[in-house]
Amino acid sequence: MVEIPKTCRAAVLVEYGRPLEIQEVAVPEVERGGILVKVEMAGICGTDVHQQRGELTIKSPLPNIQGHETIGRIVRLGEGRVIDAAGEPLKVGDRIMWAHADCGECYWCQIERDPVLCAKRSGYGWAPPSALRGGFAEYEYVTPKTNVVKVPDELAEEEAVGVGCAFRTAIAGYERFGKVGLMEDFVIQGCGPVGLYSTVVARESGARTVIVVGAPANRLELAKKWGADHVIDIDEYQDAEERRQMILELTHGRGPENVVEASGYPPAVAEGLEMIMKGGKYLILGQTSAATTPIMPSRINEKGLTIVGSVSAHIVHFYRALQFLKAKREKYPFGEIISGTYRLEDINEALANMASAKEIKPAIDNRER
Amino acid sequence: MVEIPKTCRAAVLVEYGRPLEIQEVAVPEVERGGILVKVEMAGICGTDVHQQRGELTIKSPLPNIQGHETIGRIVRLGEGRVIDAAGEPLKVGDRIMWAHADCGECYWCQIERDPVLCAKRSGYGWAPPSALRGGFAEYEYVTPKTNVVKVPDELAEEEAVGVGCAFRTAIAGYERFGKVGLMEDFVIQGCGPVGLYSTVVARESGARTVIVVGAPANRLELAKKWGADHVIDIDEYQDAEERRQMILELTHGRGPENVVEASGYPPAVAEGLEMIMKGGKYLILGQTSAATTPIMPSRINEKGLTIVGSVSAHIVHFYRALQFLKAKREKYPFGEIISGTYRLEDINEALANMASAKEIKPAIDNRER
Amino acid sequence: MVEIPKTCRAAVLVEYGRPLEIQEVAVPEVERGGILVKVEMAGICGTDVHQQRGELTIKSPLPNIQGHETIGRIVRLGEGRVIDAAGEPLKVGDRIMWAHADCGECYWCQIERDPVLCAKRSGYGWAPPSALRGGFAEYEYVTPKTNVVKVPDELAEEEAVGVGCAFRTAIAGYERFGKVGLMEDFVIQGCGPVGLYSTVVARESGARTVIVVGAPANRLELAKKWGADHVIDIDEYQDAEERRQMILELTHGRGPENVVEASGYPPAVAEGLEMIMKGGKYLILGQTSAATTPIMPSRINEKGLTIVGSVSAHIVHFYRALQFLKAKREKYPFGEIISGTYRLEDINEALANMASAKEIKPAIDNRER
Amino acid sequence: MVEIPKTCRAAVLVEYGRPLEIQEVAVPEVERGGILVKVEMAGICGTDVHQQRGELTIKSPLPNIQGHETIGRIVRLGEGRVIDAAGEPLKVGDRIMWAHADCGECYWCQIERDPVLCAKRSGYGWAPPSALRGGFAEYEYVTPKTNVVKVPDELAEEEAVGVGCAFRTAIAGYERFGKVGLMEDFVIQGCGPVGLYSTVVARESGARTVIVVGAPANRLELAKKWGADHVIDIDEYQDAEERRQMILELTHGRGPENVVEASGYPPAVAEGLEMIMKGGKYLILGQTSAATTPIMPSRINEKGLTIVGSVSAHIVHFYRALQFLKAKREKYPFGEIISGTYRLEDINEALANMASAKEIKPAIDNRER
């Protein structure tokens, strides 16, 4: 049996805007159905930067352990927890990932059957140190109501860790998007992790031409490796109308059937509505700001558009994302999204490099060396 | 055989903003596949007011015969025109309605199979007097590429004429809207003809609660007769947030699953995005303005919404609308939407009463008395 | 607080094919999350007859308390059980209905998100007397994993009890069926409870013509009251080809767009494939036999058909069914489906009258008089 | 201007079961909207063998020129025919393919908007020599109502000719099939041309595992080159239950989410219904026989299946198929489906080698050498 320490180190957010502090925190007891994992790798998301600065609309109570995209190795399985969401047996030593914990009882969980909308949803990276529910730590506690999936053995941590936030978001979004016809064109707005994963999913779903609009150049380079036929660097082409003309030329003068918004930039929506083909579809994945932006509503009905918004994901999307990585890992360098790894004690440097966009996605690497 | 005159009277738009003039115009020859009809009734649409004033984005060349929602009685059938779109035989004396004429050859007609998007679509009420393609006349010419449907004998002109514009728009919109679950709630924004028809279709499609938001009172009265459970008069409740609270109370505190925009008012879209239930659907039918309005894009993805825009219709939607009227005419007073009828020579008075909202929908009535 | 007895009476199936015996059985303790109800009314289903005779493919272990469509009044609520599936507060004295208990953990529950497919699903009417999980008793125990919904106060037991099996089956089937266009025609094969509920749902979902094919006459009479435009009595018209011709005449010579199989008779499927319109849709709800029947597969692709099969339901479908009854109860005599009520001690007479089709649906009525 | 001969050679079916005869036939005048092409390559389909033998349910009148999958080079364009279905300009010298000619006027064309169901549809390979509407000839006449698409310059005739029948059938079938989730498993029943194209489309649409069941070995070899992960040779594994067990092992014990029937063998349908996952989907493309076969209807509802049948295609599916070939031609050896080419005078040898399955697909090659 694995020896479990009484305490472990964690990076704790004590005050908004101040560097995280490495503290020794208690490791909780494992209840019936709970799981204790050793954190192998914890991805750092753009949201983590905003959360640390206190810029999010909803603020976590302080102190808090951040980190919501984590691969953990099981060190203790609570009684009765014997299978993962796909029905595969679980045992100590398995690597897992996990979704939010839904209440399972409310109108959204029961009648709408869409736990993403659950008002009592409880995420990770959002709780006090005593709960040990954040990835920026040595150990993490997965609660009984949290659904988990095993990480396939073939996948390196760098390949899989992005499933925890950006990739499952993209997979859930495409599921909600409805049927896409074969040989349709796509524009992806944004080349952060959500944009990159949206690119490779479009490429592997029968798209004809995939165009990525974003910056900076290193992300666009990765977009090309992940299946983009064309990239448009917004640092170089700063005028939306010029970009629209470039896209028209690449799409037979009609615009793309499908546009995926993964930019987080409110005015991107108006730009998307202009560039999209008549009768086309728009998937909005990246908006987080409470800001408003001017749009022309008549574009929506006069062009006959369908717009689908999607946020977060269920455990099924984690599962599909991991299966995708396993199936396509020889075709695409998935690990390159983790542009740099850091030890837990260097978490503040990692956050700074995410904030400056020096990194595509940095990660905390706790693996033994 | 019916005697066909060489000329007939028509109301001609000679200069934007000036009253229409009653002129004697030539009746054209009937080509192979064409149809000449005697106009029985021509509905007057809000668009007609804007068109007469020269306020539309796209202006018809002058002079022009307006009128795009018409019931005509066949007086001559061109060679080869033997059935209507539903395969029913056509003969002189039948009453028909008709859609735009599509090119049938372009990318939109052939590959997208959505002639509503056809760039060469040629509508009625938009052509010079020599073409005789407008309803504000004694006769009208239906071209060979125009699809037509017979009006069921059971229907009075007042019951059917709204099919020509508002009703087929609502039917096409609901078709594009996708599946609506049984016992879902609806809010209809707007109680002009598109809003009224949207109300009765929601009522007859398994809705639980149907709420109509609009003005003035006479239209809201008709909305109640056509199936609205509740109406909210925007003249009385002028604050959007107050209206949202009223709607929340009527929808179990969650908002309606479905909102249909039929107001033509750009800020209605932001109001709709606020009131709709998480995971809900929004159908935009009424926007015609080139104005922009501020919206908060994050509402779309964070609430997990689907937005569908729809404009105009195919002949199938005329057919479905007429079948609906025939099937449900004993349950609803469909004819009351025609709040007043006018002789052709009184067209300018009819337009004025449409402009002032004194009428819900006026119509030119050419029937023999 | 309600006084709860230590034991209660129940009708127990002791041996297949032998009459049920009225026994005194223990009332179990209420666990955290469990609910004890007093049975108000328990519907009797055709399946109950087959179950009692031991004719089902899967046999329940003996002894057993049957009864799977039950309205119960809460007498004790386990700790933590505070809301129903729609989020409404629960209290002692409320009337509820409930679905199967799903495991919530397997591939079907987690990845497919369709608990109807759950291999560990545990239904009611299928357990030994010690579990008290059958409706043919004075009390019944609803387990912690079982989802429940409140019965609206407006509804009489006779109106609501059919939700427990036939109606929620029909609602779930229509949900899986996908979008049905406005003013399409329906044929319903069978006029048992599933067929009757399918009839009224079609009627209230924008159908044009609804035709019911079945027998005996008393059921067809009820079908007419529940919205059928035409009924075809198979006792009178025994030849499938003759019936097909009658249906063609009622559907413009093209056949109905939609056929719903609710007959349980395997050859009905071949008959359905013949009568349905080209491009139409077929919903199969009623088949339970392991028998095979000849069909012509080329009918499916050459006619461009879509066939959807559906079985059982989630709690959402109970909720929608109850909302439907509440909304439409003044239009249709829903209570007439309960053609006779019996005291618990007369259960064997009730089963016999179900077996002989003398009753449309009998029910055990435990209400105080 | 290209010189057009008065007559040309054609292979004429004079009597069912007798070898085709090479005859000199008249080249018709080109009407307004018509197109005369020089046949570059004409594929031979399994149907051609049955047609020549007189085995089809519907027989073409005799004499007749067969050949319904043809690439032609334009030698004369009728007046007014200036663009292809995708809106691309047409000129003499372009290579084109074409669909059936629909009436464009009937209930199926206008109301159902599905010309595949058009009762007056007029195909190629089915007309007397005077019409010159078959591919087994030097020239072919494309009528005014026939929709055409250009063949992209990048594609060799061997790569593109299969679009004319098998590939457009597969594309249309997948379109009707509805949304397929990412990383779902597929079984393809049959490895003739429809099965092979279904394999590569599944592979490029985000499938996880693609399994092809069929024979003979040379076709299964090509299936592997076109993306099959596993093949099951029915000559080797002749027992359906053994095959089902093999498939279960390859699909996590649950069976595939999707099965595509492309075998033409009626009992394959019952086999498909057994192997498919609960909640799965079945696409039927290959059935042509009027034979019946026993199936167990309860499999459909108790497993919660959806079955979609599809036949033939619209011009859009030709377009999508050609775009697919152009986009993916460097990944797959598409030309290998044409396992042998023959001169027009060797048509009877080509038909014999199709009948014996010596060829996967033979073609008549008229290209200049």
User: How many B/D residue pairs have CB atoms within 8 Å?
Assistant: 46
- Distance set, CA C62 to CA A248, C24, C58, C129, C132 (Å): 71, 16, 12, 9, 13
Q: How far apart are CA C172 and CA B148, in angstroms?
A: 38
The candidate with the shortest Cα–Cα distance to D364, out of D344, D345, D349, D348, is: D344
Q: Point out the residue among A261, A296, A311 whose CB comes nearest to the CB of B290.
A: A296
Q: Which CATH number fits domain B7-154+334-365: 3.90.180.10, 3.30.2310.20, 3.40.50.11890, 3.60.21.10?
A: 3.90.180.10
Asked which of A316-330, B220-234, B271-285, D112-126 is least confident by mean pLDDT, the reply is D112-126
Question: What region, left, alpha or beta, does residue A3 occupy, with left being phi > 0 and alpha being psi -120 to 50 degrees?
Answer: beta
Name every chain D residue with its beta carbon within 8 A of the beta carbon of B319: 111
Phi and psi angles of residue B149, each rounded to the nearest 5 degrees, phi first: -130, 150
| pLDDT grade for B35, boundaries at 50, 70 and 90 | very high
- For residues C68 and C125, the answer to whether their CB atoms sit within 8 Å is yes
Give the residue from chain A lying closest to B289, CA to CA.
A298
Instruction: Name all contacts of C228-234 with Cβ < 8 Å and 24+ positions apart.
Output: C228/C188, C228/C199, C228/C203, C231/C191
Q: Point out the residue among C291, C294, C305 whose CB comes nearest to the CB of D293.
A: C294
Are C182 and B206 within 8 A, CB to CB?
no
Name every chain A residue with its beta carbon within 8 A of the beta carbon of B111: none
Q: What is residue C1's predicted lDDT score, i.e. its pLDDT? A: 57
Per DSSP, the three-state class of D117 is helix
Per DSSP, the three-state class of B7 is strand
Count other C-beta atoms under 10 Å from residue C292's C-beta: 15
Instruction: Extract the runs of DSSP E, i.e. beta strands, from B264-318.
Output: 281-284, 293-295, 306-309
C275: tokens are 């009568």
Dihedral angle computed from the Cα positions of residues A186, A191, A194 and A197, in that order, rounded to the nearest 10 degrees: 60
Mean pLDDT of B9-35: 97
- Map out the domains of chain A as residue ranges: 7-154+329-365, 168-309
Whether D1 shows a pLDDT value over 70: the answer reads no
Whether B368 shows a pLDDT value over 90: the answer reads no
How close B316 gets to chain D, by Cα (Å)?
5
Q: How far apart are CA A99 and CA A314, in angstroms?
A: 7
| pLDDT grade for B281, boundaries at 50, 70 and 90 | very high
Percent of residues, chain D, with pLDDT higher than 90: 96
What is the torsional sign of CA C13, C18, C19, C23? Answer: negative
| pLDDT grade for C2, boundaries at 50, 70 and 90 | low
- Distance set, CA C273 to CA C179, C187, C261, C286 (Å): 20, 12, 10, 15
Q: What is residue A99's predicted lDDT score, i.e. its pLDDT? A: 96
Are B320 and C183 within 8 A, CB to CB?
yes
Name every chain D residue with its beta carbon within 8 A of the beta carbon of A174: 182
Which residue is associated with the tokens 């009595």? C233
B30: tokens are 């009937």
CA angle, corner B194, sides to B188 and B195, nearest 5? Answer: 20
Complete edge-to-edge strand list for the sheet that includes strand C7-13: C21-26, C7-13, C64-65
Q: How far apart are CA B276 and CA B263, in angstroms?
A: 16
DSSP state letters, C304-365 = T-EEEE--S--HHHHHHHHHHHHHHTTTS-GGGGEEEEE-GGGHHHHHHHHHTTSSSEEEEE
What mean pLDDT is reported for chain B? 96
Q: What is residue D41's predicted lDDT score, i.e. its pLDDT? A: 98
Scored b (16 or more CB within 10 A) or e, C246-284 reads bbeebbbebbbbbbbbbbbbbebbbbbbbbbbbbbbbbb
Dihedral angle computed from the Cα positions of residues B358, B361, B365 and B367, in that order, rounded to the nearest 10 degrees: -130
- Distance set, CA C354 to CA A36, B51, C339, C340, C343 (Å): 55, 67, 10, 10, 15
Distance of CA A336 to the CA centre of its chain: 15
Instruction: List, for chain A, all residue ranges whose pLDDT scores fall below the cut of 70.
Output: 1-2, 369
Fold matches, D7-154+329-365 and D168-309: no
The candidate with the shortest Cα–Cα distance to A206, out of D307, D211, D321, D332, is: D321
Q: Point out the residue among A107, A297, A301 whose CB comes nearest to the CB of B293.
A: A297
Count other C-beta atoms under 10 Å from residue B59's C-beta: 12
Q: What is the DSSP letter of B67?
A: -
Q: Point out the residue among B179, B182, B201 whose CB comes nearest to the CB of C179.
A: B179
Q: What is the DSSP letter of B321?
A: H
The candidate with the shortest Cα–Cα distance to B126, out of B107, B111, B146, is: B146
Q: Point out the residue among B284, B290, B292 whose CB comes nearest to the CB of A301.
A: B284
Tens digits of residue pLDDT in D210-265 = 999 999 999 999 999 999 999 999 999 999 999 999 999 999 999 999 999 999 99
Tens digits of residue pLDDT in B132-187 = 999 999 999 999 999 999 999 999 999 999 999 999 999 999 999 999 999 999 99
- Identify the residue among D176, D182, D185, D328 best suited for mutation to test binding to A, counting A beta carbons within 10 A and taking the highest: D182
Mean pLDDT of D67-86: 97
Tens digits of residue pLDDT in C107-124 = 999 999 999 999 899 999
Q: Point out the residue among D85, D86, D107 whose CB comes nearest to the CB of B87.
A: D107
Mean pLDDT of D67-88: 97
Q: Which chains contact D through at least 3 pairs of Cβ atoms less than 8 Å apart?
A: A, B, C
Amino acid at B269: V
Helix (H) or strand (E) holding A149, with range, is strand A146-150
DSSP state letters, D165-234 = THHHHHHHHHHHH----TT--EEEE--SHHHHHHHHHHHTTT-S-EEEEE--HHHHHHHHHTT-SEEEET
Q: How far apart are CA A133 and CA A123, in angstroms?
A: 8
Asked which of A233-237, A294-298, B202-206, D354-358 is least confident by mean pLDDT, the reply is D354-358
Q: How far apart are CA A100 and CA A124, in angstroms?
A: 7
- For residues D171 and D163, the answer to whether their CB atoms sit within 8 Å is no
Instruction: Give D140's strand partners.
Output: D37
Q: How far apart are CA B87 and CA D111, in angstroms?
A: 9
Q: Which chains contact C through at least 3 pairs of Cβ atoms less than 8 Å apart?
A: A, B, D
Name every chain A residue with its beta carbon within 8 A of the beta carbon of B278: 108, 112, 117
Are B327 and C183 within 8 A, CB to CB?
yes
- Which ipTM did the prediction report? 0.97
Q: Which CATH class is domain D7-154+329-365?
A: alpha beta
Are B83 and D104 within 8 A, CB to CB?
no
Q: What is residue B263's predicted lDDT score, i.e. its pLDDT? A: 97
Count other C-beta atoms under 10 Å from residue C368's C-beta: 5
Q: Which CATH number fits domain C168-309: 3.40.50.720, 3.40.190.10, 3.10.20.740, 3.40.50.920?
A: 3.40.50.720
Mean pLDDT of C190-203: 98
Q: What is residue A210's predicted lDDT score, i.e. its pLDDT? A: 98
Instruction: Give C261's strand partners.
Output: C189, C284
Interface list for chain C against chain D, based on CB atoms closer than 8 Å = 107-108, 112, 114, 116-117, 176, 254, 261, 266, 269-270, 278-279, 284-311
How close D174 gets to chain A, by Cα (Å)?
9
Q: How far apart are CA C239 and CA C331, in angstroms?
A: 34
The candidate with the shortest Cα–Cα distance to D166, out of D69, D56, D310, D260, is: D69
Q: Which chains contact B through at least 3 pairs of Cβ atoms less than 8 Å apart?
A: A, C, D
Amino acid at B178: G
Q: What is residue C56's predicted lDDT score, i.e. its pLDDT? A: 85
A315: tokens are 């455990």
Residues near D328 by beta carbon (within 8 Å), at least 6 away in sequence: D200, D204, D334
Phi and psi angles of residue D123, each rounded to the nearest 5 degrees, phi first: -90, 180
Cis ω before B216 (30° cut-off from 0): yes
Amino acid at D10: A
Phi and psi angles of residue B43, each rounded to the nearest 5 degrees, phi first: -75, 155
Interface list for chain D against chain B, based on CB atoms closer than 8 Å = 83, 85-87, 104-107, 110-113, 147, 314-316, 319
Q: How far apart are CA A206 and CA A256, in angstroms?
A: 14
Tens digits of residue pLDDT in D298-352 = 999 999 999 999 999 999 999 999 999 999 999 999 999 999 999 999 999 999 9
Q: How far apart are CA D188 and CA D206, in angstroms?
A: 15
Residues near C76 by beta carbon (within 8 Å), at least 6 away in sequence: C2, C4, C30, C35, C36, C92
Residues near A343 by beta carbon (within 8 Å), at least 6 away in sequence: A364, A365, A366
Three-state DSSP string of B198-255? HHHHHHCCCCCCEEEEECCHHHHHHHHHCCCCEEEECCCCCCHHHHHHHHHHHCCCCC
Residues near D29 by beta carbon (within 8 Å), at least 6 away in sequence: none
Q: What is residue D300's predicted lDDT score, i.e. its pLDDT? A: 98
CA angle, corner D50, sides to D47 and D54, nearest 5? Answer: 135
Interface list for chain A against chain C, based on CB atoms closer than 8 Å = 83, 85-87, 104-107, 110-113, 147, 314-316, 319
Residues in chain B: 369
Are B316 and D105 within 8 A, CB to CB?
no
- For residues A319 and B308, the answer to whether their CB atoms sit within 8 Å is no
Distance of CA B41 to the CA centre of its chain: 15
